[in-house]
Amino acid sequence: MDCEMLLTDRLAPAFGAVAGGPVDPVVRRSQHADFQSDAALALARRLGRPPREIAAAVRDRADLADLCSSVQVSGPGFLNLTLSDAALAEMVGGLAGDPRLGVPAVARPETVVVDYSAPNVAKEMHVGHLRSTVIGDAVARLLEWSGHRVVRANHLGDWGTPFGMLIEHLVDLGEAEAADDLSMGDLDAFYAAARAKFDADAGFRDRARLRVVALQGGDPDTRRLWRLLVDLSEHYFLTVYDLLDVTLTDRDFRGESSYNDLLPEVVADLDRLGLLRDSAGAACVFPPGSVGRDGEPLPLIVRKSDGGYGYPATDLAAIRQRTGELGATRLVYVVGLPQRRHFEMVFAAAGQAGWLTAPARAEHVGFGSILGADGRMLRSRAGGTVKLQALLDEAVARATELTRTRNPALGAAEAAEVGRAVGIGAIKYADLANDRHRDHVLDWERMLSLDGNTAPYLQYAYSRIRSIFRKAGVTVRPDAPVPLAEPAERALALELLGFAPVVAEVERGLEFHQLAGYLFRLATTFNAFYERCPVLRAEQPVRDGRLLLADLTARVLRQGLELLGIRTPERM
RNA sequence: GCGCCCGUAGCUCAGCGGAUAGAGCAGGGGACUUCUAAUCCCAAGGCCGCAGGUUCGAAUCCUGCCGGGCGCACCA
């Protein structure tokens, strides 16, 4: 149980007795004390008593003697809570012996599907894929660490009419030649060439159309060529994931095509349930609550008028399979905000069909666009989309250069490793540190300046701590007494207790900027401690105690950054 | 037209019913014979888009405007 919950538990009965019913004590961190409870204010009207009087009554009843050195009524009716040094030391000491740093594993593990990244076969990943990949990976890491069974689903765009022209282009080039081109990772050029031929050459166009039919019909040779395209693309995606430090593997690809066989059943089920209606030749579900431009109910087109299936069909099939066969109870879709309505409709339709019923639920974890420094959608100098690989390479190059100048003592290999951790970390952190609902301005100068609230700031704090231990050749004594005499020590101890509540909060809302904000605060608090409180030169037992605080800080930073998918180099 | 997201310091952002609205960056002033100065400390910087309303209390909730972005039937 974390500190805030403990205080809440102690205050709740007192509030209950004073109010004559259950009351949430509303405990939070305070500028005026360690914690504060705001509940008395809200209670004043209901009870017809002055809030300060209520707060005083609660203070007199609450069983806080073993936790707090001071409980004071303050201002209009706040209860200011100051932890006793003994209680604070004990709680921090408890963290030291806990590999999970105070964060409990979930009591009821669920099967959670996290749907994220989803690049398109034969297209390069661009910045548009960055947020889904980075945020989704953080979701998967966090829920897994919390104790859930996480299924990563990389909903690859591996199906559709463009594959006719892509396969024909592959045939034209020759398989060996095409494989060479594609293994270089220049998928966009391949796609553009196919597209150009398709636009210019009527004969090619016809072949492409026939090829689509052959692909859908399961023609073995066509399927083999298609598979080749998919394999080559997957190989490329995996190299990007590796560079990005993303946990997606080859086992997580769940291409759209893998749902093909289920689609007729999905349509048949919907029909049997009476949910399907024909509209202009298309088979549609009309989930309640969504209206279009004309004010009429908006259809979810499950089967197009030409008999083909749209992606709503695939999404419905996926939900059916995930809640059914996989037994998932939480479906997380990490997809851009523009698709919000689409998911509303799909979730509503799946609910009507009985494929998404309690306790199973789905949530769209949406995010805004990535903008350039000019505040507009990010474009390359040439005006095209910015390739993800190029972005990452530049971040790594800049960070490596910076590392070399900052710390010439590092060898070339280590500088390269640190540069990678810092460059990639900077990009991921810049994304995760902002409220994901907002558009995210990606400014090279700021992001890679590596100052302020950035990954390198946190990484640097970590490496400083590791440096202390390396220099002294010591290890922590987990039972060392926690020193609290210095304000900087006390502030750090208190901040360390904040990890569990913030993880719990992020697990609920998947708002990772809250975790980033916490880690930044922790690093800031540590840096202030580092300035004022010498560790190795301190007298015992303070020295061991400061080592303990430093080590705990390092562990929380490492664990927190790991949840965000960011590395922590031992040296910088 | 309808719906969604967003308007907070010069810039990038926290805060989303409670005490004097907080950080970072940029700009100003300080601190390295002392565990890495990728650091720290100090000062400065705000009609919280506008107008109403609810409330003991509103940046936060409600309504209406204004501004920016996105979406609204067979592309995913």
Contact A23, A55 (CB under 8 A): no
Q: What is the pLDDT of residue A26?
A: 92
Is A93 a member of any domain? no
Range of the domain at A496: 455-564
SS3 A65: coil
Give Cβ neighbours of residue A139 (< 8 Å, ≥ 6 apart): A114, A116, A332, A334, A365, A510
The bridge status of strand A330-334 relative to strand A111-115 is parallel
Residues whose CB falls within 8 Å of the CB of residue A242, separated by 6 or more in sequence, listed in order: none
User: CA of A83 vs C1' of B65, distance in Å?
Assistant: 49
State how far Cα A489 lies from the chain centre: 31
**Residue A165 to residue A162: CA distance in whole angstroms:** 6
CB-contacted nucleotides of strand B (7 Å) = 1-7, 12-16, 18-20, 23-26, 34-41, 55-57, 69-76
* End-of-domain residue from the set A83, A98, A129: A83
* E-assigned strand segments in A13-146: 27-29, 35-37, 68-74, 78-83, 111-115
Question: Is residue A203 situated within a structural domain?
Answer: yes
Tell me the pLDDT band of A380, cut-offs 50, 70 and 90: low
Check pLDDT > 80 for residue A308.
yes
Q: Is-contact A322 A313, C-beta < 8 A?
A: no
pLDDT of A384 above 80: no
Q: Is residue A273 part of a domain?
A: no
A259: Cα within 13 Å, side-chain hemisphere = 29
Report the distance separating Cα A290 and Cα A282, nearest Å. Answer: 18
> From CA A519, how far away is CA A468, in angstroms rounded?
20
Tell me if A374 is assigned to some domain.
no
Determine the average pLDDT of the residues in A85-103.
Answer: 96
In-domain check, residue A263: no
**β-sheet bridge partners, residue A82:** A70
User: CATH no. for residue A49?
Assistant: 3.30.1360.70
From A380, A319, A381, select the one nearest A346 (Cα to Cα).
Answer: A319
| pLDDT, chain A, mean | 93
Q: Which of residues 348-387 of A touch strand B (CB under 7 A)?
A: 368-369, 375, 377
A278 CB neighbours strand B below 7 A? no
Task: For residue range A527-537, list pLDDT tens digits in order.
Answer: 999 999 999 99
Tokens, residue A105: 């594993």
Whether residue A448 has pLDDT greater than 80: no
Residue A341 belongs to some domain of the structure:
no
Q: What is the CA radius of gyration of chain A?
A: 28
Give the sign of the dihedral formed by CA A447, CA A449, CA A454, CA A460. Answer: positive
Give strand pairing partners of A301: A284
| CA pair distance A523, A534, nearest whole angstrom | 16
Q: How far is the CA of A34 from the C1' of B72 (A)?
A: 49
Q: Is the CB of A34 under 7 A from strand B?
A: no
The mean pLDDT of A173-179, rounded to a whole number, is 88
Total domain count, chain A: 3
CA of A264 to C1' of B2 (A): 33
Distance from C-alpha of A455 to C-alpha of A564, rounded to nearest angstrom: 10
* Backbone dihedral angles phi then psi of residue A379, each to the nearest 5 degrees: -130, 155
Would you state the pLDDT for residue A370? 86
Three-state secondary structure string covering A107-143: CCCCEEEEECCCCECCCCCEHHHHHHHHHHHHHHHHH
CA A407, A410, A413, A417 torsion: positive or negative? negative
* Edge-to-edge order in the sheet of strand A35-37: A27-29, A35-37, A78-83, A68-74
> A223 burial class (0-12, 13-18, 19+ CB within 10 angstroms)?
middle
Retrieve residue A297's tokens. Answer: 């109910």
User: Is the pLDDT reported for residue A375 higher than 90?
Assistant: no
In angstroms, the Cα distances linking A174 to A167, A170, A177, A412, A554 are 10, 6, 5, 41, 54
> Does any domain span residue A178?
yes
Kindly state whether residue A129 falls inside one of the protein's structural domains.
Answer: no
A462 and A555 co-located in one domain: yes
pLDDT at residue A229 is higher than 80: yes
Last residue of a domain, one of A248, A275, A305: A248
Domain identity same for A559 and A460: yes
* pLDDT band at A289; cut points 50, 70, 90: confident
| pLDDT over 90 at A256, yes or no | yes
Q: What is the pLDDT of residues A182-224, one digit of tens each?
A: 876 788 889 989 999 999 999 999 999 999 999 999 999 999 9
Q: pLDDT of A399-442, one tens digit each?
A: 999 999 999 999 999 999 999 999 999 999 999 999 999 988 87
Helices marked H in A218-294: 220-244, 263-272
Instruction: Write the CATH number for A535.
Output: 1.10.730.10
Which residue places its CA closest to the C1' of nucleotide B71?
A338
Q: How far apart are CA A355 and CA A352, in angstroms?
A: 8
Residue A552's pLDDT is what? 97
Cβ–Cβ < 8 Å for A318, A259: yes
Q: What is the 3-state secondary structure (H, E, C) of A157-226?
A: ECCCCHHHHHHHHHHHHCHHHHHHHHHCCCHHHHHHHHHHHHHHCHHHHHHHHHHHHHHHHCCHHHHHHH
Complex ipTM value: 0.96
Provide residues 324-353 of A with CB closer than 7 Å to any strand B atom: 337-342
Decide which of A83, A112, A127 is a domain's last residue. Answer: A83
- Location of structure tokens 């769209």: A364
